[in-house]
Amino acid sequence: MQAPHKEHLYKLLVIGDLGVGKTSIIKRYVHQNFSSHYRATIGVDFALKVLHWDPETVVRLQLWDIAGQERFGNMTRVYYREAMGAFIVFDVTRPATFEAVTKWKNDLDSKLTLPNGKPVSVVLLANKCDQGKDMLMNNGLKMDQFCKEHGFVGWFETSAKENINIDEASRCLVKHILANE
């Protein structure tokens, strides 16, 4: 007899201010590459990543990249629709992008809930950690507290450039989504 086979398809959003590294994180995660040449994303874009989660479970992630509208600081309900989780990204070298994190979280929670009425799982990414750890990054406790207060399921220091913690952050998000279903 064949082992039971489960397949999941999840739409995941990657949001946060312009230039924090959203496109780079997706590229690193899905295509295993990085470019320091900056090109703003134009048009709606998404990439697919397949995870062999366990011997019985395949998880397909559809990662949605923001297409330049992040300059307005919010997205439409249509864009968020049917997402199962999100990464909210900030740039550790630019404090203003961290201040925008709660704004992004509120925008998401006000426009999207899961079919069961719960808020979607969101993981916070402190990106460009290869650039040095100034500001609040020295204080993991403070970040844990911040995540608790604002309803993030976890946070990771990431680098799309050095490929740090992106797989870990994704596993954390998927684990919470699977547990929520």
List of residues contacting Mg ion (CB under 5 A): 22-23, 41
CA distance 38 to 61: 25
3-class secondary structure, 43: coil
Whole-angstrom distance, CA of residue 86 vs CA of residue 89: 10
Check residue 36 for interaction with ligand GDP (CB under 6 A). yes
Task: Output the smallest distance, CB 14 to Mg ion, in A.
Answer: 9
| Residue 72, contacted partner among ligand GDP, Mg ion, none, CB below 5-8 A by kind | none
Q: Is 105 in the site for ligand GDP (CB under 6 A)?
A: no
3-state secondary structure of 156: strand
Smallest distance, ligand GDP to C-beta of residue 98, A: 14
Task: Report if residue 41 touches ligand GDP, rule: CB under 6 A.
Answer: yes
Q: Which partner, Mg ion, ligand GDP, none, binds residue 97 by CB below 5 to 8 Å per kind?
A: none
Does residue number 20 form part of the binding site for ligand GDP (CB under 6 A)? yes
18/114 with CB nearer ligand GDP: 18
* Binder of ligand GDP out of 121, 126, 128, 152 (CB under 6 A): 128
Output 159 or 170, the one with its CB closest to ligand GDP: 159
Residue selected from 19, 46, 111, 171 as contacting ligand GDP according to rule CB under 6 A: 19
Q: In what order do the strands lie in the sheet with 57-65?
A: 45-54, 57-65, 6-15, 83-91, 121-127, 154-157
Beta-sheet pairing, 83-91 with 121-127? parallel
In the region spanning residues 155 to 174, those forming contacts with ligand GDP, defined by CB under 6 A, are 159-161
Q: Which residues neighbour 70 within 8 Å (Cβ) at sequence distance 6 or greater?
A: 15, 16, 17, 18, 22
- Cα–Cα distance for residue pair 14/86, rounded to 1 Å: 6
| Contacts with ligand GDP, residue ranges (CB under 6 A) | 18-24, 36, 38, 41, 127-128, 130-131, 159-161
